[in-house]
Amino acid sequence: MIEIRNLSKVYDTKSGTVSAVDSVSLTIQEGEIFGIVGYSGAGKSSLLRCINLLEKPTSGRITVDGKDLTCLKSEDLRQARLKIGMIFQHFYLISQKTVFENVAFSLKAAKVPTAKIKERVEKLLELVGLAEKRDVYPAQLSGGQKQRVAIARALANNPTVLLCDEATSALDPTTTKSILSLLKRINKEFNITIVLITHEMNVVKEICNRMAIMQDGRVIEEGSVYDLFASPQAVLTQEFIASVVSFEIPEVILKSCKGPLVKITFKGDVAGEGIISDTLQKFNVKGNFLHGSIEYIQELPLGIFIMELKGQKEEIARALQYIESREVKVEVLHNGL
């Protein structure tokens, strides 16, 4: 488990002090994949680097697996860091060393016996699908292969936590999907807690259990990925969700709507039920579907539909009341003409 309490990070610059992280408190459960989302300058990278004290917090506490890192002396901190792996956007492989040597580097630094290093590196390269690349150099690898080497290197010392700093931002969509699949597998097989920062909501939707949204150094909203997709509260969260699930209706369509325009959100098992068809049969109301889809988040369906309802006011009100009684969220977007 990672516990972050009242964490702040202030930088001194020529133009004055800059508060990159401002009184952030988070609890990240053991074995989960936690996403930290925000635009550039939101403070998410500074927060991530504070978790393993690559950046020393100005104030606050970081507790990882029961140890308060901010209180540890240098040697104890070095030992604690061995259990926190980290991968970066630009890989940071040593160009003069082979794939094998890059993965072995952190093991040598940890003074692991030579005989065990060979066994460990070969096992890790098999895990990330690069056993046949052990003797090649980084320049001979694709971006996705370089990130796989970086992941193997981060796992070398059997960490309990893996920090991912925009780990897929430099990769194409297909490669990104394969890297996320590898991270999910690592999380599942080894119960490694993964903290992933990104500005891409597709990445969060694909892999994370929970997430926090950062803005101006603060966490403005947090919760399960499913719940935030289903019902985002903060304006910035809504903006991020809209980048993945957009339901904007052109103004010309809005103007042509004679009846109320409603957004209906189905969560969980309810998304698979025929509630709308039941409603249209039960009440003297007609529906005109304008937009809709069912997204799968953490293998749970989330259905969002936008439709125009036509009929008598009283009958429409009864129909909407019936839909809401089935534990479905209804929002009136436009009252019609």
Average pLDDT, the chain: 88
pTM as predicted: 0.86
Rounded to an integer, the average pLDDT of 107-134 is 91
**Do the domains 2-242 and 251-334 sit in the same CATH topology, yes or no?**
no
Those residues whose C-beta lies under 8 Å from the C-beta of residue 150, and which sit 6 or more positions away, are: 87, 88, 91, 92, 93
Characterize 254-289 residue by residue with b for buried, 16 or more Cβ atoms within 10 angstroms of its Cβ, and e for exposed: eeebebbbbbbbbbeeebeeebbeebbeebebebee
Q: What is the pLDDT at residue 269?
A: 67
Q: What is the pLDDT at residue 275?
A: 80
Rounded to an integer, the average pLDDT of 151-161 is 94
Q: What is the pLDDT at residue 271?
A: 54
Q: What is the pLDDT at residue 293?
A: 78
- Could you give phi then psi for residue 32, rounded to 5 degrees? -95, 165
Does 2-242 carry CATH code 3.40.50.970?
no
Q: What is the pLDDT at residue 68?
A: 92
Rounded to an integer, the average pLDDT of 140-163 is 94
254 pLDDT band (50/70/90 cuts)?
Answer: low
Q: For 65-78, how does the pLDDT look when each residue is reduced to its tens digit (9 = 90+)?
A: 989 999 888 888 88
Rounded to an integer, the average pLDDT of 292-309 is 83
Statement: residue 337 has pLDDT above 60 = no
Percent of the chain with pLDDT over 70: 95
- Kindly give the residue spans of alpha helices, DSSP state H, lying in the chain: 44-51, 74-81, 99-109, 114-127, 143-154, 173-190, 201-207, 225-230, 235-242, 251-256, 275-282, 313-325
User: Out of 3.30.70.260, 3.40.50.150, 3.40.605.10, 3.30.1180.10, which CATH number does the structure's domain 251-334 have?
Assistant: 3.30.70.260
Q: For 210-245, how does the pLDDT look when each residue is reduced to its tens digit (9 = 90+)?
A: 999 999 999 999 999 999 988 889 999 989 988 887
CA nearest neighbour of 86 among 118, 112, 64, 115: 64
Q: For 39-88, how does the pLDDT look when each residue is reduced to its tens digit (9 = 90+)?
A: 988 999 999 999 999 999 999 999 999 899 998 888 888 888 889 999 98
Domain ranges of the chain: 2-242, 251-334
